[in-house]
Structure 1
Amino acid sequence: MSEAVREARKERPKFTNIHVTELSNYRMPLAAIVSILHRISGFMMFALLPVVLYLLELSIRSEISFGYLQGIAQQPITKLVILALVWGYFHHFCAGVRHLVMDMHVGLDKDSARKSSATVLTISLALTVLVALKLFGVF
C-alpha cells in the first residue's frame, strides 16, 4: 500500500463502547428514551401487580374495607403513586401501539421514528395530566 492510504487509515476515528463516565456526554435520541421508558413502565406495572390486586380484593371485600381504602386514596402521597401507575399504563400502552405499528414496517425511517416517539410522549403525558386534574379535584 502507498503511504497516503496508510496515513488515511490511521486518521479514522476508533469507536469503542461507551463507558459509564461518558454517559453524561452522550445524547440519546428520543426514540431510545421512549423505548427505555417503555421497559421501565412495563416493569413498574409488573412489579406492582400483586399490590394492585390485593387492594382490589380488599376494596370488594366489604363496605368497611372499601371506606378504609377510600380514606387512604385521599392522601397526597397515595395520589402521586396512583398517578405514577396511570402514567406507566398510558405510556406503556402508547409505546406498545407504536412498536406494533413498527413491527408492520411502518414508520421505520429516522424522521418517522422521531415523530412517533414524540407523539407517544405527548399523548401519554397529556392523558396523565387529564387524570391528574381529575384526581386532584380540579374538575
Structure 2
Amino acid sequence: MNKNRPVNLDISTIKLPAAALVSILHRISGVVLFAVVALLLCMLDASLESEQGFQEVADTFNSVPAKLILWVALAALIYHLIAGVRHLLMDVGIGESLDGGRRGAVTVLVLSVILILLAGVLIW
C-alpha cells in the first residue's frame, strides 16, 4: 500500500458525484420523514379529539411556521418517493450503468426541485 497518497480531509472541497449526493439526500429525507411523522400523528390525534381540537389544529396550519414545517415534510416525502422509485428501477436493471446512474440522479434532483417548488406554491 502506498503511504504517500494525498489525503483530503476537508469535506467542503470534496466534489461529490450526483449519485452520491442523491444517496445522501435520500437518507436525510428518510430521517426527516421519521421525525415529522411523530409531529403529524400528534396533530392528527388532537384534531380527532373534539371539534375544538380540530379547529385549533386548523388554525395552527394558518401560521407561517406550521406552513414551513408542512412544506419541509412534503419536500422530504416528495424527494424520498422519487429517489425510492429510482432505486426500485435500478433493482430491476434500469439505469445500472455509470451513465444511467448519473442521468437517473440528475433526473431525481431536477424532478424533485420542480415538485417541491410546486408544493410550496400550493401551500403558500
Task: Judge which range, 71-80 or 88-97, deviates more.
Answer: 71-80
Gaps of 5+ in 1: 1-9
Mark the CA change 1:15 to 1:98 in structure 2 (over 3 Å): closer, same or farther.
farther
Task: Judge which range, 120-129 or 35-44, deviates more.
Answer: 120-129
Cross-structure match for 1:101: 89
Q: Secondary structure of 1:108's match?
A: coil
* Aligned match for 1:30, one of 18, 26, 44: 18
Q: Secondary structure of 1:48's match?
A: helix
Cross-structure match for 1:80: 68
TM-score (norm 2): 0.89
Identity %: 34
Cross-structure match for 1:121: 109
Gaps of 5+ in 2: none
Mapped partners of 2:111, 2:52: distance in 1: 37
C-alpha RMSD of matched pairs (Å): 1.7
How far 1:48 sits from its partner (Å)?
2.4
How far 1:41 sits from its partner (Å)?
0.5
Q: Which runs of 4+ in 1 moved over 2 A?
A: 13-16
How far 1:105 sits from its partner (Å)?
2.5
Mapped partners of 2:108, 2:79: distance in 1: 7
Cross-structure match for 2:32: 44
Q: Secondary structure of 1:96's match?
A: helix
The count of aligned residue pairs is 122
How far 1:15 sits from its partner (Å)?
5.8
